[in-house]
């Protein structure tokens, strides 16, 4: 599961893997876990997103955990590989899955 760390003071990002990097995660950092694959046309189910978040929460403190997609949608203006409707459906699945995980985690 990919993740990147963002330093709250400087906005610095450092890519890595959750399990290996969580040990070095200091209190001044947040870990944003990629829970959506923007390349795949398949739309993730909210329960699938929830499960990815719960897996990450078993490694990373919940207060320092955030969700994102793996790399962004349409990084270039001429990129039409992901249809707009698909991108918004994937974003909706991320929001709904994050809400499911938050309820299960009690936050």
Domain total for the chain?
A: 1
Average pLDDT of the segment spanning 16-22: 49
Which residue, chain included where needed, has tokens 């929830």?
A: 50
Cβ atoms within 10 Å of 93's Cβ, excluding its own: 20
Instruction: Give dist(CA 48, CA 93) in Å, integer.
Output: 9
pLDDT for 32-91, tens place per residue? 889 998 888 899 999 999 999 999 999 889 999 999 988 776 655 566 677 888 889 999
Q: For the whole model, what pTM was predicted?
A: 0.73
Residue of 87, 94, 18 whose CA lies nearest to 49: 94
Name the residue range of residue 43's domain: 2-105
């Amino acid at each position: 599961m990919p993740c990147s760390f963002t330093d709250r003071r400087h906005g610095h990002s450092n890519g890595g893997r959750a399990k290996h990097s969580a040990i070095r995660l200091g209190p001044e950092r947040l870990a944003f876990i990629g829970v959506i694959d923007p390349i795949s046309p398949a739309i993730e189910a909210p329960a699938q997103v929830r499960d990815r978040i719960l897996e990450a929460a078993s490694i990373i403190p919940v207060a320092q955990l955030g969700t994102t997609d793996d790399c962004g949608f349409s990084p270039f203006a001429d990129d039409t590989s992901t249809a707009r409707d698909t991108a918004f459906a994937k974003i909706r699945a991320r929001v709904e899955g994050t809400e499911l995980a938050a309820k299960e985690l009690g936050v």
